[in-house]
Amino acid sequence: MLFFLLHELPHELKQVALKEACRVLAPGGKLYLAEFHRPHPRMLRALSWTYFKVFEPLGLALWTSHDPLAQLSAMQGMSCERQTVFFGNFQVIVATKALDSAGR
């Protein structure tokens, strides 16, 4: 489980953290990731952008260049699903590692 970790990491370590989390998963294992997400309503998006710009500048990249769903989906053997809550302000991603060739 990665709970609100990525927005605290420098950009170059976001991908490293995701790769390591997937590496240590057993075949068939699930990674649960909770993190901020780009909200849907414009007013909430503007407020969130201001908050991130002032207090959490590393988190804004999760809206664009460092989308964890895109990064996890690009990893071989990972299948992912994302759900957003609270008007899209938060996301939960479940990434499942494929079974190995022996079915384990």
pTM (predicted TM-score): 0.86
Residue 29 pLDDT exceeds 80:
yes
- The whole-chain average pLDDT of the chain stands at 92
Report pLDDT for 103: 66
Phi then psi for 9, rounded to 5 degrees? -90, 145
Give the list of residues 6+ apart from residue 38 with CB closer than 8 angstroms, or none: 45, 48, 62, 63, 88
Residue 9 pLDDT exceeds 80:
yes
Residue 22 pLDDT exceeds 90:
yes
Share of the chain above pLDDT 90, in %: 76
